[in-house]
Amino acid sequence: MLKRKSFGVTKDGEKASRFILENSKGMCVEVSDFGALVLSILVPDKRDSIRDVVLGFENLKDYYNNDIGLGAYIGRNANRIEGAKVTIEGKEYVVDANNNGNNLHSGFDRSHYKFYRSQFGQNEEGSFVEFSRNSPHMEQGLPGNLEQKIRYMLTEKNEFIIDYEMVCDKMTIVNPTNHSYFNLDGHNSGTILQHEMEIYSDKVLNIDRNLIPTGEIINVTKTPMDFQYRKEIGKDIDSDYLPLIIAGGYDHNYVFSNDRKLKKVAKLYAADSGITMAVFSDLCGLQVYSGNFLNGQTGKAGAIYIKRSGICFETQFYPNSCKEASFPSCILPGDEVFQSRTVYQFEVE
C-alpha cells in the first residue's frame, strides 16, 4: 500500500511529497521526491512497538543542510576520487575538491538536493515508488546526460529494496549508493556501539591519511576490523590499529566478488529492540561507516545525533575505482545500462 502526503516546497518552488510504503506486517517506509531521500523506516520490535530505525530531519528545509547525508541518495559517484580529477576517454575532468583536496560524494552540488519525477505502483514483489531525473552534461563536473532511476520498494518479507537503473549518452562515472544511517534501537536511542554486526568478508581496502584507497587489499582476519563472526561494534572501534586510527572508527570498504550476483554482505543486530537487518548487494564494495562525524545535529522529534548514533552500509564500487586500474571500474560506456540492487531485510530476533 502507498500513501502520498505533502512535504513542503523546495527553494525552487517545487511542491515536494512524502511517499509512504506500508505492508501487512506493520512495517512502513517514507521517502521523498526531494533528494530521493529516505525519511524514515518504521519496524515493529520484539514487543510489537514501532521503532523508526533511520536518522533524519523533521522538515524539508533541514535537508538543505545535510552534508552528512542523512537518508541521502548519492550520485553520480559515491565516495572519493583522489585529487578531484579523472580522465575519461583521454580527457581530464576536474570535479569539486570538497574533502582534503579530493572529491567526496560528487562534490558540493549533491544529488540529494535535487527534485525528482515520481511514479508509483505495485508488482509481484511489493509496492514501490520510483524517482527519476536527468543529470545534465557536466553536472558535478562529469560528462554526459545521465538518466537516473531510483526505485524504492517494500515487500511482505519486510525487505526494503533499492533498485538503480542508469544510462548516459557519453562514457561517464556511475557509482550510486544510499547513505542512510541505521540505528535498530531507534533513531533517538543513542549510539550504535552496543549493536552487534557481521560482515561476510575478510578483506578491506587499505587507505591513506585522506581515506583514499592505496590499491592494496588487506586481510583483516583476527584484527579489530574482523566481523566475520558476530561482534559488538564498540568492542574494538577505538583500538590502536592504524586503519581505525586514520578513519576515526569504521569508515572502510569491505571487498566482495565482482560477479554482480545478489549476496548477503552484512547483518546488524540490536539487543534492546530485537530488530535485525541483513544487507544484500550485487556490487563488489561495501563501505561501512560508523557515524564518526555526527556531532550533535538535531533530528526528528528533537533527537540529538551524537557521534556514532547511526551506521551506514553503502553498497558501491570501490572508492577511487575510476582511477585505480586494479579495481573493478565504475566508468560506464555511453548508452550502456547500469543496474544494481540493494536489499535491507528486517526481522525480529
Give the residue numbers annotated as catalytic, written as ranges.
179, 314
Distance CA 70, CA 182 (A): 10
Give the cell for residue 236.
574494538
What letter does residue 115 receive in the DSSP assignment?
Answer: B
Residues 6+ apart with CB under 8 A from 23: 1, 126, 127, 154, 155, 156, 158
Contacts of residue 178, defined as CB under 8 A and 6 or more positions apart, other chains included, come to: 38, 71, 72, 73, 74, 162, 314, 315, 342
Q: d(Cα 52, Cα 33) in Å, to the nearest integer?
A: 20
CB 105 within 8 A of CB 111: no
- Helix/strand/coil for 206: strand
Strand partners, 9: 15
Angle (CA) 104-108-109 rounded to 5° is 115
